[in-house]
Amino acid sequence: MAMINILTREINCKIVYYGTGLGGKTANLKFIYSQLSPETRGDFISLATETERTLFFDYFGLDLGKVQGFTTRFSMYTVPGQVEYNASRRLILNGADGIVFVADSDIIRRNENIESLLNMKENLSSYGLTLESIPYVLQYNKRDLSTAMNLEMMENDLNPDGKITSFESIASTGPGVFTTLKQISKQILNRLQ
């Protein structure tokens, strides 16, 4: 839930990037961070293991200017992709104003994507939320892989009714990253209006 501070005239929103391990959640945040001027971003905090997998979360703040006279800031987090860190996943998801589900396009990750989406729904349910009650977009990452699933297969697996906005991306180099961020930000801001 967005935190509104009337005294400082600030709105703070939380975006969570959710998905499988090594699917591109951290790559999204790193790319976004690298493209922003220091005036519009906070510090990038990353906790990782020796294999560069995110253990707890990646985080940074993003200043998006004024909305109805309020300074709007987005805090951006990733969850750990590994199943054994589900308690951390659930905790990071708490209070999210919007979610980007990052699906790995590699065909060998198909079942992991489906399991991760189900896990996200379960964790949202623990807070009394559903995907229909929170801004949410899908990002099909690693579209440059020779082993990438076709989009129809990914949509059938993760967006069977076609109601969720989805984007193709290559988070390591940037295509689709800001398009995804703009869409989730727009959904969150429209909800605040």
Amino acid at 61: G
For the whole prediction, is pTM greater than 0.85? yes
- How confident is the model over 49-101, as pLDDT tens digits? 555 455 444 455 666 667 788 888 888 888 888 777 888 899 999 999 999 99
Full set of structural domains in the chain with CATH: 3-192 (3.40.50.300)
The position carrying tokens 């590699």 is 106
More confident residue, 60 or 137: 137
DSSP β-ladder status, 10-19 and 98-104: parallel
Q: Please, is 133 exposed, middle or buried when counting C-beta atoms within 10 Å of its C-beta (0-12, 13-18, 19+)?
A: exposed
What is the structure's pLDDT at 171? 97
Structure-token pair, residue 114: 């489906």
